[in-house]
């Protein structure tokens, strides 16, 4: 059974009726532990009413299985329904790579540090209209590319319009 840990910490939020939760995830999220760990996150969502912002610190996360990506997507959906934000910090290259291909980095921004993520969230909260900024397009790296730290987003989370190419399938179109 793979080891995985999620430490949950509530951060100080400047915005009233809003909470920012930091999830420090470490180890390997796989079939043996993901369902249990996911329950902890769902509990936070259920226990806290009102607007929620999530910061996932993936510095210690070595592996995510498909189910954990599915959960992450689901959490994003739930947080967005409450007008909150989800961001990721310090993800390793292999994790970033998968999230980029899945397209999650177009919704969930990845930052190099927790402070940067906090600041981005604060800016988003104070900005009157804040469109979601896309992550850079997935790089065409070979399968054997060495692991390098995830690149910081080039611009703050407000300036770029997400690209909606032909592969974007909007419902009710």
Binding residues (CB under 8 A) for another protein: these are 64-67, 69-70, 73-74, 76-77, 80, 94, 97-98, 101-104, 106-107, 132, 138, 140-144, 162, 164-172
Q: Choose between 13 and 106: whose C-beta lies nearer to another protein.
A: 106
Q: How far is the CB of 171 from another protein (least distance, A)?
A: 4
Distance CA 62, CA 11 (A): 24
Q: Bridge partners of 61?
A: 27
Helix count (H) and strand count (E) of the chain?
Answer: 4, 5
Residues paired with residue 28 on neighbouring β-strands, in sequence order: 63
Half-sphere exposure of 76 (CA within 13 A, CB side): 18
Q: How far is the CB of 110 from another protein (least distance, A)?
A: 15
Neighbouring CB atoms inside 10 A of 39's CB total: 12
Among residues 7 and 137, whose Cβ is nearest to another protein?
137
Q: How far is the CB of 114 from another protein (least distance, A)?
A: 24
Q: Which is nearer to another protein, 17 or 144 (CB)?
A: 144
């Amino acid at each position: 059974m793979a080891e995985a840990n999620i430490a949950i910490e509530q951060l100080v939020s400047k915005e009233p009726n809003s909470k920012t939760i930091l999830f420090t995830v470490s180890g390997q999220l796989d079939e043996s532990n993901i369902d249990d760990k996911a329950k902890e996150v769902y509990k936070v969502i259920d226990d806290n009413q009102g607007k929620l912002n999530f910061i996932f610190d993936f510095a210690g996360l070595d592996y995510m299985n498909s189910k954990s990506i599915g959960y992450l997507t689901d959490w994003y959906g739930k947080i967005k329904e409450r007008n909150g934000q989800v961001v990721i910090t310090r993800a390793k290259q292999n994790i970033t790579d998968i999230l980029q291909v899945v397209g999650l980095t177009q919704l969930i921004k990845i930052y190099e540090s927790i402070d940067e993520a906090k600041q981005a969230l604060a800016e988003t909260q104070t900005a009157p209209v804040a469109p979601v900024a896309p992550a850079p397009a997935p790089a065409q790296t070979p399968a054997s590319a060495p692991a390098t730290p995830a690149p910081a987003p080039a611009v703050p989370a407000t300036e770029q319009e997400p690209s909606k190419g032909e592969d974007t399938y909007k419902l009710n179109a």
